[in-house]
Structure 1
Amino acid sequence: MNMKSLKTLALAGAVAATTFLSGSVAGLAQEVTLKMHQFLPAQANVPKLVLDVWAKDVEEASGGRIKVEHYPSMQLGGTPPQLMDQAIDGTVDIIWTVVGYTPGRFPRVEVFELPFMMTNADATSRAYWDLFEKEMKDTDFKDVHIIGTWVHGPGMIHSKTPVNGLGDMNGLKLRAPTRIITGLLGELGATAVGMPVPAVTEALSKGVIDGCVIPWEVTAALKVPELVENHTEFGGDHALYTTAFVLAMNKERYESLPDDLKKVIDDHSGQEFSAFAGRTQASADGPSKQIAVDRGNNIITLGDEEVARWKEAAQPVYENWIKEMEGKGIDGQALIDEARMLIDKYSKM
């Protein structure tokens, strides 16, 4: 081989090497690590059955170019009420939280937490997403990118003394998850004690509260069946209450993604994901309830006549909320009417 051929070969090799290295750097530049932060232990139902599943699906759909690091139990610092601000300011990339942990900050969401509003978690989560897109995306949640909106299964009462009827609520100190439920418990005669759900176990064991309102699914992780003996469910088509959640992403982080990775996030966001999350969370109610049954705990189900009394007692919650919304320039009655219409529509599907 002559000198000219050697030089040509060397030049070709250099170009190939440069192209390879450039391609590798470009490939590396497209790899994204997203930190996901939330308040429950990793083994709890939502982290295990919803958040980890979502993260795995996103990673696989991106061909490994997106990596989701899951930090449970507030491992990155702060308290559950600070999660939304962590997503807004970019302290973390993604958060899952109870919207009501910051009372009054996201007023339109509260329509789904009004008493006896929800039917089941699938239908109500679908309705929540629809109303989010129409009424909340550019108002309540304008500072974050929302991935999913959902609610848990029927909320109920878990107490140290039996709640067989409305009169048994008088004087009970019950943990409340949100501002709306705090108001509801007050109208029903109880004393509401607000706290994030991870605090329930210690509060029950130390006698700070006499019980709590939570769905069945989280009772196992909180050891509630070991700390109380009575559980009151509500008959009929509508639950006593539910709690609204969001899976939210830092807006700038989302917008900084290349279009194909944005599409991966988009494909794993929206109504279907929200319905999956709500439905999956609610599906864990049965196994958790069985723990209480196996312990011989007292399972109470209120009939239609008694539930009607609770609904009547809860009516001021609606009236007060509508008045508060008017003060914020929001048509609360219109939100109630639309939420009911949407929930009814999806409940019939």
Structure 2
Amino acid sequence: MKYTVICAAALIVGASSAFAQTKLTFASPAPAPTPLHAAVLEGWAQKVTEDSNGTLEVELVTGGTLAAHGQVLDRVTQGVVQIGWDIQGYYPGKFPKTEVVALPFGFDTSENGTVAMNKLLEDGTIASEYQDVKVLNLFTFPNGYLLSSKPTASLADAAGQKISGINPTRQSIAGAVDGVPVSLSITDWYQGLSRGTIDGAIESYSAVAPFRLQEVTGNALEVPLGGNAAFMFMNQDVFDGLPDEAKAAIENNSGAEFDRQMGAFWDGAAGYGRKLMTDAGATITTPDEAQMAEWETALQPIIDAWVESVDGGEDILDKFHEAASADM
């Protein structure tokens, strides 16, 4: 009788352990009020938790509390947190092939560029850059424009301006237009623009609202200066150790549909940011065909240099353009 009771107790403990809930901490480096959290990431975390049938709890921690931009990848691979998202541009030299999305004149909308990027991931073109993690979502922010505190209506107006940009390509663009590249975190742009440390930044309108750029930039020149790749990812070993229900909950809420959702969200955020600029009285300039040709000529050396420096660069660029064009 005693043996039977002990066995029964062991079975209960074993069953409880087998179905124990795993908590996954999801670190976001973005400021807490960023619309991305309420509009996308909170819903994703909740849906994964609900779909896991009690095997998972995903907790989103925002504001860079657990990992700032440029730290998230290490925090995830080291197991400090299990899930995170970040911008590849904060890891110079680690994602050279993915940087194709940062080249000027490569895609139309964020959704369009995001779909093209994921085709390159799926066909293996850029997959080698993501072997250390499990990719849940790969996307690009909308095209960056030159947002400036100084009147900027032409290529000539950019000359001499102190210009910041998150990724290395945007720094190169600043130099190519005879500006002065300035390395400055996006979180410091507001103060930098206010004090004259920088005159402008190459960034999409999607950054206007969270960083209040409409208050310190009165001009926008709408030349498509390339995107900014970003990704959402988790620790591969942690994923591999999850029960099947938990894995399914994560994978069913990731992938192509989520990629498009993320791209569409950023396109909407860019539209809102542009409205904030116009409502604040900003001068927005869209170059005519001749002016755009001047920009293309000035920036072609940057594209050529990327093709030359990246293994298989020309093939990657062709594939990206083809995928982006097919989705338009």
TM-score (norm 1): 0.88
Alpha-carbon distance, 1:18 to partner: 5.7
Match of 1:25 in 2: 17
Q: Deviations over 1:73-93 (max 9, x none)?
A: 22015x411221222222211
Match of 2:59 in 1: 69
The alpha-carbon distance between structure 1 residues 311 and 68, as it changes in their structure 2 partners (threshold 3 A), is: same
CA RMSD of aligned residues (A): 2.0
User: Is 2:196 the counterpart of 1:204?
Assistant: no
The alpha-carbon distance between structure 1 residues 107 and 137, as it changes in their structure 2 partners (threshold 3 A), is: closer
Alpha-carbon distance, 1:194 to partner: 2.5
Secondary structure of 2:163's partner?
A: strand
Query: Which ranges of structure 1 fall in alignment gaps of 5 or more residues?
Result: 1-6
Mapped to 1, the partners of 2:18 and 2:131 lie a distance apart of: 32
Match of 1:305 in 2: 290
Q: Deviations over 1:26-81 (max 9, x none)?
A: 322xx11111112211221222322222212211211343212222222015x411
Mapped to 1, the partners of 2:38 and 2:194 lie a distance apart of: 26
1:195-344 maps to which residues of 2 (within 5 A)?
Answer: 195-234=184-223, 239-325=224-310, 330-344=311-325
The residue type paired with residue 63 of structure 2 is S
Number of residue pairs matched? 328
Match of 2:89 in 1: 100
Alpha-carbon distance, 1:289 to partner: 2.0
Identity %: 27
The residue type paired with residue 56 of structure 2 is I
Kept in 2: contact 1:148–1:270 (CA 8 A): yes
Mapped to 2, the partners of 1:216 and 1:336 lie a distance apart of: 25
Q: Deviations over 1:292-320 (max 9, x none)?
A: 22222222222222111111111001111
Kept in 1: contact 2:101–2:228 (CA 8 A): yes
Query: Which ranges of structure 2 fall in alignment gaps of 5 or more residues?
Result: none
The residue type paired with residue 146 of structure 1 is V
1:5-84 maps to which residues of 2 (within 5 A)?
Answer: 19-28=11-20, 31-77=21-67, 79-84=68-73
The residue type paired with residue 41 of structure 1 is P
Q: Deviations over 1:110-134 (max 9, x none)?
A: 1111111121111211110110122
Match of 1:113 in 2: 102
TM-score (norm 2): 0.93
Greater mean deviation of Cα atoms: 108-117 or 59-68: 59-68
Kept in 2: contact 1:35–1:92 (CA 8 A): yes
Kept in 1: contact 2:146–2:203 (CA 8 A): yes
The residue type paired with residue 73 of structure 1 is G
The alpha-carbon distance between structure 1 residues 27 and 271, as it changes in their structure 2 partners (threshold 3 A), is: same
The alpha-carbon distance between structure 1 residues 298 and 63, as it changes in their structure 2 partners (threshold 3 A), is: same
Alpha-carbon distance, 1:324 to partner: 1.1
Match of 1:143 in 2: 132
Mapped to 2, the partners of 1:314 and 1:182 lie a distance apart of: 12
Secondary structure of 1:105's partner?
A: coil
Greater mean deviation of Cα atoms: 10-19 or 217-226: 10-19
Alpha-carbon distance, 1:13 to partner: 8.0
Mapped to 2, the partners of 1:281 and 1:53 lie a distance apart of: 16
| Higher alpha-carbon Rg | 1
Q: Deviations over 1:225-282 (max 9, x none)?
A: 1112112223xxxx32110001011111111111221111111222221121111111
Mapped to 1, the partners of 2:188 and 2:165 lie a distance apart of: 11
Kept in 1: contact 2:97–2:126 (CA 8 A): no
Q: Deviations over 1:307-347 (max 9, x none)?
A: 1111111100111111211xxxx110000000011111111
Match of 2:174 in 1: 185
